[in-house]
Amino acid sequence: MRENNEIEKLVKQLSDSKHWWEKELDTQMRRCDAAYNLGQLGNKNAVFCLIRALSDSDHWVRSSAASALGELGDATAVPQLVKVLADNDELVRIHAAEALKKLGDKSAVHHYVELLSDPDKYIRLVAVNVLKDIGDKSAIPDLIKVLADPDWEVRKLTTETLEKLRVKSSVHLFMKALTDSDVNVRRYAALALGKTGDATAVPQLVKVLADNDELVRIHAAEALKKLGDKSAVRHYVELLSDPDKDIRLVAAKALKDLGDRKAIPPLIKSLADGDKLVRSTAAQALSLLVDRDAVPVLIEALIHSDGLVRCAAAWALGKSGDQSAVSHLVDALSNADVNLRIHIVQALGNLNSKKAVMKLVKVLGDSDYMVRYVAADALGKLKDKRATPYLSKCLEDTDRMVRIKAAKALGQLADKEAIPHLIKGLKDPDWMVNFAFSEVLRKLENMGE
């Protein structure tokens, strides 16, 4: 009873126009406060009074009434709030849109569906946005029709909404959206198709790799990667000869990610591509896909004019496990730049060939500290005790990381001949070096005779 009296009092304050003793600002504040308090009371008996206030001549009152209706949570206010979206005052429109979002329960879905065909673009956007938040799949058929909306923002938001609803049945509509005249719709359609997990989209996505918009191409490539359908390999192989270097690059990256060895022959051809990024990406792909058939081509690539290709070829040969590559890698060390020397030394370590030991110990004297570091690492992997005196000498290297790596390599060799050198190295002023030497010493001293 008391609450009803309070509501009646607030309704009267909201409805009463200016009293003769009031200033205009006081009247405005009284009525706005009344609308706000009606919303806070949460009593739905106030709904119709607040709906009437949506057409008040004062825009502040209309704005307060819209906010209050959002707080009350009664879907019967939806039609009137929708009309207010066309109000000439921006704040009123904003508060009406916020109220509609709050009222976005499933019982109001039919109201928003009707608004999808409203002539006002802003109202259509609000309708799609609210349907997205509600997440009711009963709106899907109507949302699908909106993909043909004349406004790109509405189409884009609709694509996002359908993607959020995970509509498997709308895959063909997303595919259709890939040919939309608006680039933003094509971008979101490509992204959405990647999240559907439906491989039937692969052929259409492959075509989009030739889109004139870079982001559309990137999203299409990412979608294909997520779909992980190896049936797309032949499409990518065809695109390796596309006149557009960006398309060739996307194709090379995709083939690298798909990991299908059928792509090796065409990727080998791409090592001669006119674009540096395409060549290096093809080489990186080969380093992941490499098999014995590719080894001769990769050996030739060690003297390629492009440094990135040379490095990728060395890395790939290290992964190949083919011992015939060892002598070629050793030969290539002589005239190699720093980056290639690093990759060759790592490859020799990965190939685990004892034939490379004496060449690697020479590299311990390289002018570049990183080359010396990877050489010590490679010798540790090879575990050949012929390297002990050379690695022991590296315990005095000018670079502390090389000293540490040399000590660890000696630990891997498990050669007690290194103990005196490690003890001497304990005088090293660098605590990290000292700690590493101590750890290796403990390991060697605890070894059985």
CA–CA gap between residue 127 and residue 114 (Å, rounded): 9
CA–CA gap between residue 420 and residue 240 (Å, rounded): 58
User: What's the pLDDT at 5?
Assistant: 63
Both tokens of 449, joined, read: 């005779």
- Residue 136's Cβ-count burial label (10 Å; 0-12, 13-18, 19+) is middle
User: What's the pLDDT at 381?
Assistant: 92
Q: How is 303-338 classified by DSSP, letter by letter? A: T-SSHHHHHHHHHHHHHH--TTHHHHHHHHHTT--H
Fold of 231-323: Leucine-rich Repeat Variant (1.25.10)
Scanning the structure block, which residue is given the tokens 């492009």? 306
Distance of CA 346 to the CA centre of its chain: 30
Q: Is the pTM of this model over 0.85?
A: no
CA–CA gap between residue 31 and residue 65 (Å, rounded): 10
Q: Which amino acid is at 230?
A: K
Q: Taking a C-beta distance cutoff of 8 angstroms, is the pair 326, 302 a contact?
A: no
Closest CA to 344 of 369, 316, 323: 316
Helices (H), 106-229: 109-115, 121-134, 140-146, 152-164, 171-177, 183-196, 202-208, 214-227
Scanning the structure block, which residue is given the tokens 């040969």? 317
CA–CA gap between residue 383 and residue 386 (Å, rounded): 9
Q: What is the CA radius of gyration of the chain?
A: 36
- Percentages of the chain per state (helix, strand, coil), in multiples of 5: 75, 0, 25
Q: Evaluate whether 1-103 and 231-323 have a shared fold.
A: yes
Each residue's pLDDT, cut to its tens digit, for the chain (449 residues) gives: 455 567 677 767 766 665 545 566 666 787 888 878 877 876 777 788 888 888 888 888 888 888 888 888 787 788 888 788 778 888 888 788 778 778 766 666 777 788 888 888 888 888 888 888 878 777 877 887 787 788 888 888 888 888 777 655 567 778 888 888 888 778 878 887 887 777 778 888 878 877 888 888 888 877 887 776 666 787 778 888 888 887 788 788 878 877 777 787 888 788 888 888 888 888 778 777 766 777 888 888 888 888 878 888 888 888 888 888 899 998 988 878 999 999 999 999 999 888 889 999 999 999 999 999 999 999 999 999 999 999 999 999 999 999 999 999 999 998 888 899 989 888 888 899 889 899 999 988 887 55
Scanning the structure block, which residue is given the tokens 């090293």? 428
User: What's the pLDDT at 1?
Assistant: 42
Longest C-alpha distance within the chain, in Å? 110
Q: Taking a C-beta distance cutoff of 8 angstroms, is the pair 178, 186 a contact?
A: yes
Distance of CA 280 to the CA centre of its chain: 22
Fold of 1-103: Leucine-rich Repeat Variant (1.25.10)
User: What's the pLDDT at 20?
Assistant: 46
Fold of 136-228: Leucine-rich Repeat Variant (1.25.10)
How many C-beta atoms surround the C-beta of residue 252 within 10 A?
Answer: 29
Q: Taking a C-beta distance cutoff of 8 angstroms, is the pair 260, 268 a contact?
A: no
How many C-beta atoms surround the C-beta of residue 305 within 10 A?
Answer: 7
Cα torsion at 281, 283, 289, 290 (round to 10°)? 180
User: What's the pLDDT at 224?
Assistant: 80
Q: Taking a C-beta distance cutoff of 8 angstroms, is the pair 253, 281 a contact?
A: yes
List the domain boundaries for the chain: 1-103, 136-228, 231-323
CA–CA gap between residue 433 and residue 387 (Å, rounded): 20
Roughly how many angstroms between the first and final C-alpha of the chain, as a whole number? 97
User: What's the pLDDT at 435?
Assistant: 92
